[in-house]
Amino acid sequence: MTALIQVGLIYGSTRSGRFCDRVAQWAGQQAAKAGFEVEAIDPAKLSEGDELRKRVGACDAFVVVTPEYNHGYPAPLKALIDSVGAEWQAKPVAFVSYGGISGGLRAVEQLRLVFAELHAVTVRDSVSFAGAWDQFDAAGTLLRPERAERSMRTMLARLHWWAAALSTARATTPFESAA
């Protein structure tokens, strides 16, 4: 990767004792190793409004780390997404999901619809952890990392391509949604 891309690492859960911290830590480390500048955006630690808009607006791309709760994504993640508007537009979004047997894929499919409405581009490739609680140790280390790291490299390469392409597009032709 050539250009430094700032990626917003969005935490999808605010539950006490959340597992999201382990998965997001791993995802952030992978993104940093791939040459991204990582900006953590955690709804459990953020106030809404101007601070959130500025942080999202400064990012070139996003990696959303989301659990699946009851076949969907968590309400605090929806609140975070809905608290921002134009800052999402014409930027790529990738997903790292976790959960039980589905690995969070149902949550990701719902999030693709939400981000499409915001004029964001979702990356087809994703990383999913089925039975996530058995895949990480207590310190957040992935026990068998080869497959997930391979998937993450592919996803991050696609995210980088989209981020660079859309950054150029926004610079030459500013994105305007219909009024």
HEC string of 112-159 equals HHHHHHCCCEECCCCEEEECHHHCECCCCCECCCHHHHHHHHHHHHHH
Q: Is residue 97 part of a domain?
A: yes
CA torsion angle for 141, 147, 151, 157 (degrees, to 10)? Answer: 80
Q: What confidence category does residue 178 fall into, taking pLDDT thresholds of 50, 70 and 90? A: low
What's the mean pLDDT in 158-173?
96
Q: Is residue 177 part of a domain?
A: no
Whether residue 179 is predicted with pLDDT greater than 60 in this model: the reply is no
What's the mean pLDDT in 1-8?
79
Q: State the Cα–Cα distance between residues 96 and 84, nearest whole angstrom.
A: 21
Q: Is residue 178 part of a domain?
A: no
Evaluate whether 82 touches 113 at the Cβ level (below 8 Å): no
pLDDT digits (tens, 9 = 90+) for 101-133: 999 999 999 999 999 999 999 999 999 999 999
CATH number at residue 160: 3.40.50.360
Q: Is residue 135 part of a domain?
A: yes
Q: Is residue 156 part of a domain?
A: yes
Q: Is residue 179 part of a domain?
A: no
Q: What confidence category does residue 61 fall into, taking pLDDT thresholds of 50, 70 and 90? A: very high
Q: Is residue 13 part of a domain?
A: yes
β-pairing, 127-130 with 92-99?
parallel
pLDDT at 1: 43
Q: What confidence category does residue 47 fall into, taking pLDDT thresholds of 50, 70 and 90? A: confident
Domains held by the chain: number: 1
Q: Is residue 63 part of a domain?
A: yes
What's the mean pLDDT in 72-98?
96
3-state secondary structure of 39: strand
Q: What confidence category does residue 176 fall into, taking pLDDT thresholds of 50, 70 and 90? A: confident
Range of the domain at 156: 6-172
